[in-house]
């Protein structure tokens, strides 16, 4: 675990570069505004969010997990279960929590104000998978800290989950369209690009579906799964009808201020 940052950054940048290269060579949809302008705002938001999160919650999830283990804090730290069982259960718990976190950020108005920064993007590509308001990032970290402590999630499970979550968020936001022979069987397990673009539809009933960032199980279990939209993937209207002007939300300042606008 001493090389945690190396593992996380290594996977992150590798997946990011691969997805962006695929988008460059095989784009599924054309961006309504100049990509470089969107990228500057979206990646700028990542930087600001990272700084604010580090200042607000300076202690990392894995550090908390180690502390909990040393002091027998959390359910799994007071139970005698095989390590592989604890890790597997921890991954399921963290994933279902992120599913419900995402769903509640759509359903609770004050939380939606934060999350709409992500959905106001009029185009979906790899950079959209990183476009979250700093306050949403901080709240998400706090939620995960509570869950990690309550269940005694081991540090290795935290690391696996964070790498997987970030990697799959980059993957399913990528502006690519997998060949049908790959996409059809893959969507039986994972949230593919086509399925996730339904979640970014301007149609509210479609936006409020396919909340999972990784597997599709929770959406199917809790009745929020949609396997198709009313329009085809190439014709699907992306973004929010409240923000029809794509250029309106293409600067870092506009993204930071968006939750505080009516």
Q: Residues 53-71: pLDDT tens digits? A: 988 887 889 999 999 999 9
Rounded Cα distance between 198 and 147, Å, is 29
* Whether residue 250 has pLDDT greater than 80: no
- pLDDT value, residue 7: 85
In this predicted structure, what is the pLDDT of residue 182? 96
- Which tokens belong to 184? 């059809």
Q: Are 157 and 205 in contact (CB under 8 A)?
A: no
Neighbours of 185 (CB within 10 A): 10
Q: Is the pTM of this model over 0.85?
A: yes
Structure confidence at residue 248 as a pLDDT band (50, 70, 90): low
Instruction: State residue 94's pLDDT score.
Output: 97
How far is it, in rounded angstroms, from Cα 12 to Cα 210?
A: 23
102-124: pLDDT as tens digits: 999 999 999 999 999 999 999 99
| Per-residue model confidence (pLDDT) at position 161 | 96
Tell me how long the chain is.
262
Residues 6 or more apart in contact with residue 230 via CB below 8 angstroms = 203, 206
What pLDDT sits at residue 175?
A: 97
Q: Kindly state the tokens that stand for 135.
A: 């306050």
Asked whether residue 245 carries a pLDDT value surpassing 80, the answer given is: no
Half-sphere exposure at residue 140, Cβ-oriented, CA atoms within 13 angstroms: 25
Alpha-carbon torsion 147, 208, 125, 218, what sign? positive
Exposure b/e, 165-184, CB count within 10 A at least 16 = b: bbbbbbbbbbbbbbeeeeee
Domain ranges of the chain: 32-260
Question: Does residue 244 surpass a pLDDT of 80?
Answer: no
- pLDDT of 201 > 80? The answer is yes
Task: Say if residue 232 is exposed, middle or buried (CB neighbours under 10 Å; 0-12, 13-18, 19+).
Answer: exposed
Asked if the model's pLDDT at residue 47 lies above 90, the reply is yes
Between helix 134-151 and helix 83-107 the angle, nearest 10°, is 140
Reply yes or no on whether the pLDDT at 261 is more than 90: no
Query: Which of these ranges, 61-75, 86-100, 103-117, 231-245, has the smallest mean pLDDT?
Result: 231-245
The answer to whether 48 and 251 are in contact (CB under 8 A) is: no
Q: Count how many Cα atoms sit within 13 Å of the Cα of residue 206 in the half-sphere of its side chain.
A: 23
Instruction: Please say if the pLDDT value at position 8 is more than 90.
Output: no
Of 8-12, 113-117, 130-134, 165-169, give the lowest mean pLDDT range.
8-12
């Amino acid at each position: 675990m001493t090389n945690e940052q190396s593992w996380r950054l290594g996977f992150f940048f590798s997946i990011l570069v691969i997805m962006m290269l695929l988008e460059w060579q095989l784009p599924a949809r054309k961006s309504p505004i100049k990509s470089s302008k969107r990228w500057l705002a979206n990646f700028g938001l990542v930087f600001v969010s990272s700084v604010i999160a580090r200042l607000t919650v300076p202690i990392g999830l894995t550090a908390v997990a180690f502390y909990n283990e040393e002091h027998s804090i959390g359910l799994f730290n007071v139970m005698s279960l095989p390590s592989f069982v604890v890790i597997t259960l921890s991954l399921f718990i963290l994933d279902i929590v992120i599913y419900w976190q995402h769903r509640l950020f759509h359903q609770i108005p004050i939380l939606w104000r934060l999350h709409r920064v992500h959905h106001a993007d009029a185009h979906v590509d790899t950079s959209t998978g990183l476009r979250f308001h700093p306050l949403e990032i901080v709240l998400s970290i706090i939620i995960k800290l509570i869950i990690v402590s309550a269940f005694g999630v081991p540090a290795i499970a935290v690391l696996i989950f964070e790498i997987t979550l970030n990697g799959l968020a980059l993957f399913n936001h990528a502006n690519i369209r997998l060949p049908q022979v790959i996409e059809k069987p893959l969507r039986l397990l994972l949230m593919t690009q086509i399925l996730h673009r339904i979640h970014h539809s301007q149609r509210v009933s479609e936006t409020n579906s396919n909340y999972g960032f990784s597997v599709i199980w929770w959406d199917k279990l809790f009745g929020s799964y949609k396997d198709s939209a009313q329009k085809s993937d190439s014709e699907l209207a992306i973004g929010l009808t409240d923000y029809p002007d794509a250029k309106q939300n293409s600067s870092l300042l506009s993204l930071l201020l968006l939750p505080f606008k009516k």
